[in-house]
A and B are shown apart, each in its own frame.
Chain A
Amino acid sequence: MEKAIAIQMKGITKRFGEVIANKDADLDVRKGEILALLGENGSGKTTLMNMLAGIYFPDEGKIYIDGKEVVIRSPRDAYNHKIGMIHQHFKLIDVYNAIDNIILGESFYFDEAANKAKIASLKKPEGNESRKEKFKRNIKLLAARLEKAGAYIKFNWLSRNRGEDIRAIADKYGFAIDLKKKIYDMSVSEKQTVEIIKVLYRGADILILDEPTAVLTPQETKRLFDVIRNMRDDGKSIIIITHKLNEVLSVSDRVAVLRKGEHIATVNTAETSETELTEMMVGKKVVLNIDRAEPKNPIDRLTVSGLSLINKENVKVLDNVSFTARAGEILGIAGVAGSGQRELLEAIAGLQPAATGKITYFKPESNEAVNLRAKTPTQIREMGVRLSFVPEDRLGMGLVGNMDIVDNMMLRSYKKGKFFFVDRKKPKSLAENIIKSLEVATPGTNIPVRRLSGGNVQKVLVGREIASSPTVLMAAYPVRGLDINSSYTIYNLLNKQKENGVAVIFVGEDLDVLIELCDRIMVICGGKITGIVDGRSATKEEIGLLMTKGRQMEQSPSTVGQRG
C-alpha cells in the first residue's frame, strides 16, 4: 500500500552566483519511510535539504507539506512544520549537559496564535457586562498578555524538570545515553544522539540526517540504523543524505539520486542494485576534450610506501598508502571528500609530521633518492626538492586573503637573499607576469587577493606554484568552484607542466575530468588505496565502485594499472 506523502518539493532551483546547486529538482517523502538521498560530492544533496530546514530559500520552486504549499523562511518555520535536520557539524553547547542542550529553544513552543486569539476574544466585551465582569475580563486580558513572558521565565524551571520527558523519548526509540552528561565529555556518536533527541523532542515528524555515518564506527552505525528503523515504525519520515551505497541498500526504503543538482530518479531500494545506483550517481560519460599527450619518458619521481597517519582525533586517516608518481605524467586521485586526500598531500608537503612510512623523492639530476618524511617544508626546500603544492583551502592556506598579490607572490620566496629587508621588486614583476599570461582579472597588483573572484584567486595561486619550476606539482581540487573557462586554463597549465616533465598529482572530484585529464587514477577510500586504474581505459562506474565500497576490497597489485 502506498503511504501518504509527507513532503513534496517541486521544481526547486537554487543558485549561488554562477553556480547552480539545484536545478529543477523534485523530491517526495512519504510518511513512515526512510528515504536515502544519494549523490556525489557537490551534487546538491545538502543544499536541497537545507532548503527544507530553512537555512536557504529556494530561488524557484515550491514545497508542499501534507499537500499544502508552505513557505519555509527560517529554521523556526521548519520546526513549525515539524521538520528537523541533524547537520554534519553538530550545533551543541559544550559546557551544557544533554538536557540543557535539548531544552534550548523551548520558548519556540509558545503558541503565539492561540495566545493572540485569546487576547482578541478578551478584548471584546460580551454583551452588557457589569463593572465587576469588566474588571474580571481586564484582569484576564492582562494575564493573557503576560503569558508569553511567563513562558520565557518558565524556561529555567523546564531545564530542571523536563528531563523525564526527554528520557521517555530516548527510551521509546532505544537511544542509549546519559542525559546528564556534559557535551564535552561525549563521544561523537553520543553528540549525534543528542542532536536527534533534540529534534524529536521538538516534535519533528520529518528528520533529515546529513551524512550521519561519516563520523561513526560500524557498530555505532548499526545502532543508529536500529534507532532510525524504530522511528520509521513510529510513522516518522526520515531522509538520510549519504554517498555510501552499502548503507543505502541496508537501511532505506527508497532512494532518490541527485547528480549535478538535478534529481535523476527515485527508486525502491528492493528493486535496485549497486550497479544501477552507481550509474545513476555518476551518469554517462561526458566528453570534455581536454588534450592529453602521451607521457614522455616517465621515470619514477616520488614513491610513497606504507604511509599511515593517525590524526588528532585518533582516527586513522591514512592506512598503508603506497604509490608512485612519475615525471611527465598526471596522477589523478579520486575519492569521496575526506577520504584522506588532504592528509596525503600534506604529508608529502611536510605538513603532517606524525605520518609513518616512506616518502622518497628521486632527484632529476642524479636520480639520488631523498627521504621526505618528517621533514618540514623549509627542510624540503633546502634539500633542493622543488615541490609545489596547491592546497584545497586557497585563501586559508595557499594564500593570505588580506595581503595583496605581490605579497602573496613572496610567500614561497621571501627568504631569498641575504638582506634583512624583503625584496618586493621580483615578486611584483612575477605578479605582473602572471596577471598577463593567465589573464587574471584584477585592477592591479596591490589589491588584496580575497577581493578577486574564485577563478582569479586560483590563477594567482597556481601561477605562483608553477613559477618556482617544480619537479612535483600537487594540486588539490584546483578547479573547485571555477567556471568552465578558468577550469580549462588550469587543465592546460597542468598539462603543460606534465609535458615539461613534472610529476603532477591531481586530486579531483569530477570523475569526467579525472578520466579525461589523468594518465593514471588512484582511488582512495577511507584512507586506503582501493585501486589504481589507467585513465585511458577506466570507466566512471569502475571508479565509482572503488570510491564507495572499497572497504570490502583488498588492495592487490593486479589493480595497479600497468602502462605500456
Chain B
Amino acid sequence: MKSTEKSAREPFFQIVKRDNLVWWKAWLIRAAAVISAFLVCGIVSVILTKRGFGSFYVSLFKGVFQTERRIWNLFQNISLLLCISLAVTPAFKMRFWNIGAEGQALVGALASAAIVVYFGGKVPEALLLVMMFGAAVAASVIWAVIPALFKAQWNTNETLFTLMMNYVAKSLVAYFINVWVTSGSGVLGVLKFGHFPAIGGYAYLLNIIIVAVLTVLVYMYLKKTKHGYEVSVVGESLNTARYVGINVKKVIIRTMVLTGVLCGIAGLLLVAGTSHTVATNTVGGRGFTAILVSWLAKFNPLYMILTSFMVVFLQQGAAQVATDYRLSNAFPDIIIGMFFFFIIACEFFANYSIKFRLAKKEKKA
C-alpha cells in the first residue's frame, strides 16, 4: 500500500541541482557540447550544400586561418569584440543590464572621427590621437552615465533606457555625416589622419596590445580592488550592500563611468585602428554580441578571451563557408545560433543532473 502510494506520487524524473561538480567534469561537458555543435553544424551544412561532410570544416578553418591577412583579421576582430565585452562586464556583474554598449561605443567613434574631421592635419598626429582618445572617452562616458544617473536617482529601467540611447547615437552619426559630407553621398570616406602607428609594420598590433592590457586591468579591477568587491556585493545582494553601508548609487554611477571609458576606447580603436571612418553601422552589432561573450564567460575577463575567440572564429569561418558555397549570408547566423544553443544548453547539464525514478532514489530531505 505504502509503496504504491509513493511511486504514484513521485514524478518520472527529477532535476537535481549539482552542487560541487569537479572542474574537469564541467569542462568535459563543455568540450562535449562544442564537439556535438561542430558535428550538428556539419550535418546541417551537408544538407544545405550537398557536398561532402569534410568540406564544411575545411572551408570553416580556411576562412579563419588560410592567409596571414585572415589571421590578423581574426585577432583584430577579437580585440574589438573583447574590448566592448570588457566594457559591459563590470555593469553586468552589478546586475545593471546595459544593452547600450553599441551606442556607447558608437558615440566614442563619432567623437574621435569629429576630432579628425576638424583638427586632422592641423595638429601633430600624436596630439591628434591624444585628442581623439579624450573626446571618445568623454562622449562614451556621457552616453553611459545618463542611464546610470536615472537608475540611481529614480530607479528607471536601465535596459530600455540604454537600448533607446543606441538609436539616438545612430541618428547623431547620420546627422554628422550629413554635415561633414557635402556631396550628399551620405558616406564619410576614409579619413586621412588619426591612424594608429603600425608597430613593426603590423597595422592591427597596437589594437591587440591595448585590448590585452585592458583585459588584465579589468580582471584585476574586478578581482582585486575594493571597487570590484563593491561591484560584486551590489550585484549579489542589494540588501547586503545596504547592510554594510555601500553607497549603491555611487557604485552604479562609478561602474557605468568605467563602462563609458572602455566603450570610448573601443570607439577609438574602431576609428583610429580599424575602419578610419565612421558610419551608423561601424560598431556592427558588437555591442550586443559582447553581452553574449561576457555572459558565457561568467563575467570573467580571462575566459572572455576564449568566448570572444569562439564567436569571431565562427563568424569569420561561417562567412567563408557561405561564400564558398554561395549560401545566403544568413548562414553564419545559423551556425552561430546552433553553436550557442549547445553551449548554453550544456551549462544546464553542468549545473543540474537528471535522476530517473527507476534509478536509485535519494532520500528526500
Contact = CB atoms under 8 A, between A and B. Distances in A.
Interface of A: 16-17, 57, 71, 73, 349-351, 376-381, 389, 391, 393, 396-403, 407, 410-412, 414-415, 420-422, 451
Interface stretch (B209-217, B235-243, B354-362): B235-243
B122 interface: no
B225 A403 contact: no
A391 B9 contact: no
A559 B19 CA distance: 52
Contact of B243 (A71, A391, A403): A391
Given A71-B9, A414-B229, A415-B226, A16 B365 contact: yes
B115 interface: no
Nearest to B2: A60
29 contacts: A57-B9, A71-B5, A71-B9, A376-B245, A377-B245, A380-B245, A381-B245, A393-B239, A396-B237, A396-B240, A397-B240, A398-B243, A400-B232, A400-B233, A400-B237, A400-B240, A401-B236, A402-B236, A407-B229, A412-B244, A414-B226, A414-B230, A415-B226, A420-B225, A422-B224, A422-B226, A422-B228, A422-B229, A451-B20
Interface of B: 5, 8-9, 19-20, 224-230, 232-233, 236-237, 239-240, 242-245, 247, 365
A57 B239 CA distance: 33
7 tightest A-B CB contacts, nearest first: A377-B245, A378-B245, A397-B239, A400-B236, A73-B9, A17-B365, A411-B244
A121 B230 CA distance: 70
A417 to B, nearest CB: 9
A65 B21 CA distance: 46
Nearest to A397: B239
A71 B226 CA distance: 56
Given A399-B240, A420-B227, A422-B226, 20 more contacts: A351-B243, A377-B244, A380-B245, A381-B245, A396-B237, A396-B240, A397-B243, A398-B243, A400-B237, A400-B240, A403-B232, A403-B236, A407-B232, A411-B233, A411-B244, A412-B244, A414-B230, A420-B225, A420-B226, A422-B228
Contacts, number: 72
A51 to B, nearest CB: 13
Contacts of B19: 451
B242 A351 contact: yes
A84 B14 CA distance: 27
A411 B243 CA distance: 9
B229 A396 contact: no
A57 B242 CA distance: 38
B225 A422 contact: yes
Nearest to A73: B9
Contacts of B20: 451
A16 B364 CA distance: 9
A419 to B, nearest CB: 8
A444 to B, nearest CB: 12
Nearest to A393: B239
Interface of A: prevailing SS: loop
A458 to B, nearest CB: 15
A70 to B, nearest CB: 11
Contacts of B242: 351, 377, 397
A378 to B, nearest CB: 4
B219 to A, nearest CB: 13
A471 B109 CA distance: 56
A349 B229 CA distance: 22
Nearest to B5: A71
B226 A398 contact: no
B226 A350 contact: no
A307 B36 CA distance: 64
A398 B240 contact: yes
A411 B247 CA distance: 13
Contacts of A351: 242-243
B245 A421 contact: no
Nearest to A411: B244
Nearest to B20: A451
B95 to A, nearest CB: 12
A73 B7 CA distance: 12
A412 B229 CA distance: 12
A412 B245 CA distance: 9
Contacts of A379: 245
Nearest to A450: B19
Nearest to A15: B365
A272 to B, nearest CB: 37
Contacts of A71: 5, 8-9
Contacts of A403: 232-233, 236
Contacts of B239: 393, 396-397
B239 to A, nearest CB: 4
A24 B247 CA distance: 50
Contacts of B9: 57, 71, 73
Contact of A378 (B229, B232, B237, B247): B247
Contacts of A376: 245, 247
B224 A421 contact: yes
Nearest to A71: B5
Nearest to A18: B365
A407 B240 CA distance: 13
B55 to A, nearest CB: 46
Contacts of B224: 421-422
B229 A410 contact: yes
Contacts of B236: 400-403
A420 B228 CA distance: 10
A421 B225 contact: yes
A291 B242 CA distance: 35
A391 B9 CA distance: 38
B245 A350 contact: yes
A451 B20 CA distance: 9
A398 B239 CA distance: 8
A427 to B, nearest CB: 11
A397 B237 contact: yes
A265 B220 CA distance: 63
A232 B233 CA distance: 52
Contacts of A397: 237, 239-240, 242-243
A376 B9 CA distance: 51
Contacts of B240: 396-400, 411
Contacts of A380: 245
Contacts of B228: 422
B365 to A, nearest CB: 5
Contacts of A391: 243
Contacts of A411: 233, 240, 244
Contacts of B233: 400, 403, 411
Contacts of B230: 414
Contacts of B229: 407, 410, 414, 422
B224 to A, nearest CB: 5
